[in-house]
Amino acid sequence: MTLTQLRYLVALADHRHFGKAADSCAISQPTLSAQLRKLEQELSATLIERGKAIGLTPIGEAVVSRARGILSESDEIIGIARRGEEPLAGPRRIGIIPTVCPYLLPWALPALKQAFPRLDLICREAVTHEVMQAIRVRELDWGIIAEDPDDPALRATALFHEPFFAALPQGHILTAEPAISQAHLAQEKMLVLSEGHCLRDQTLSLFTVGRKGGDDIRATSLETLRGLVAAGHGLTLIPAMARRAGDAGLELRPLTPPASRTLYLISRRADPRRDEAKALAETLRNAAPETTRPL
């Protein structure tokens, strides 16, 4: 029995799919299957229920529970051995939600490169629950999301607050106001992102009553919402980092009372490299644009 075999078993338990588990371990599916069968033979026990739906036997569940602790301890040992090495050097993987990624990377990457020249940051854009799951199963080292995960397996560090702005089409009656009342917006047709995006939930939490009906438009990006607003299909909220000078067809106004979201850097609570997450968070806070608000 090896640590590698245990990692493969834990990956299968997390994904419940041989192909996805193999991808997460960066190996072929036949290799993963062969190693898991070998593990079962060595333990003289059936761990996996193979069928249309992949599951674990009661023995398999017990082994996975113990394996998670063993793997966590193994990571701690590696961390102890590496503490004398240069921090934040080599490849690290980070997941960032789509409503943050394209607006954060242009200023974050140069700041991180300057602070940590040997850091090789590999970025993945994914919605919140995908980022959280990828961190749990060690596919990612860190994530940047816009809500507190409230998950005992994850550690969250608040980075900064990002105010919201109302996005209105040019010529809209509310563009005459220097700031837009949330009560006024509650009477307008508010465009939101499709399900799975935390910005959708944050928008709906502000405007849950009095929203005008209309076309069922399920946008998957802020850029789509921006275009729909400019074309007169409704209003939306734009986070501060997504503001652009000279947006064609758009007028942006601050909200009154102000509303914002908080961005968090998340990592596995058991990750022995917690000092790296702390250094990363501090660098991002110091480099954040003036449109954000410090904590």
pLDDT of residue 293: 78
Whether 35 is covered by a domain: the verdict is yes
Question: Higher model confidence: residue 144 or residue 82?
Answer: 144
pLDDT of residue 210: 41
pLDDT of residue 208: 57
pLDDT category of residue 193 using cuts at 50, 70 and 90: confident
What would the pLDDT profile of 143-189 be if each residue is shown by its tens digit?
999 999 888 889 999 999 999 999 999 989 999 999 999 888 888 88
190 exposure class (CB count in 10 Å sphere: 0-12, 13-18, 19+):
buried
53 exposure class (CB count in 10 Å sphere: 0-12, 13-18, 19+):
exposed
Q: Domain check: are 20 and 131 in the same one?
A: no
Instruction: Specify the 3-state DSSP secondary structure of 234.
Output: coil
Q: Domain check: are 150 and 266 in the same one?
A: yes
Q: Which of 94, 88, 83, 82 has the alpha carbon at shortest distance from 276?
A: 88
Rounded to 5°, angle at Cα 235 from 98 and 170: 115
pLDDT of residue 274: 83
Q: Does the pLDDT value for residue 127 go beyond 60? A: yes
Q: Domain check: are 123 and 249 in the same one?
A: no
Other CB atoms within 10 Å distance of the CB of residue 156:
18
pLDDT of residue 144: 97
Whether 292 is covered by a domain: the verdict is no
E strand or H helix at 163: strand 154-169
Other CB atoms within 10 Å distance of the CB of residue 207:
18
Mean pLDDT of the chain: 87
What would the pLDDT profile of 20-72 be if each residue is shown by its tens digit?
999 888 899 999 999 999 999 999 999 999 988 899 999 999 999 888 888 87
What would the pLDDT profile of 217-251 be if each residue is shown by its tens digit?
678 888 888 899 999 888 999 999 988 766 778 89
Q: Domain check: are 49 and 62 in the same one?
A: yes
Q: Domain check: are 155 and 167 in the same one?
A: no
CATH number at residue 39: 1.10.10.10
pLDDT of residue 69: 81
Q: Does the pLDDT value for residue 79 go beyond 80? A: no
pLDDT of residue 139: 83
Whether 38 is covered by a domain: the verdict is yes
Domain of 193 in residue numbering reads as 162-260
pLDDT category of residue 137 using cuts at 50, 70 and 90: confident
Find the largest Cα–Cα distance for the chain: 75
Number of folded domains in the chain? Answer: 3
Kindly report whether the peptide bond that precedes residue 149 is cis, defined as omega within 30 degrees of 0: no
Region 67-79: what's the mean pLDDT? 77
Share of the chain above pLDDT 70, in %: 92
Q: Domain check: are 204 and 223 in the same one?
A: yes
Q: Domain check: are 175 and 256 in the same one?
A: yes
CATH number at residue 147: 3.40.190.10
Q: Domain check: are 130 and 268 in the same one?
A: yes
Whether 294 is covered by a domain: the verdict is no
**Residue linked to tokens 């909220």:** 237
Whether 236 is covered by a domain: the verdict is yes
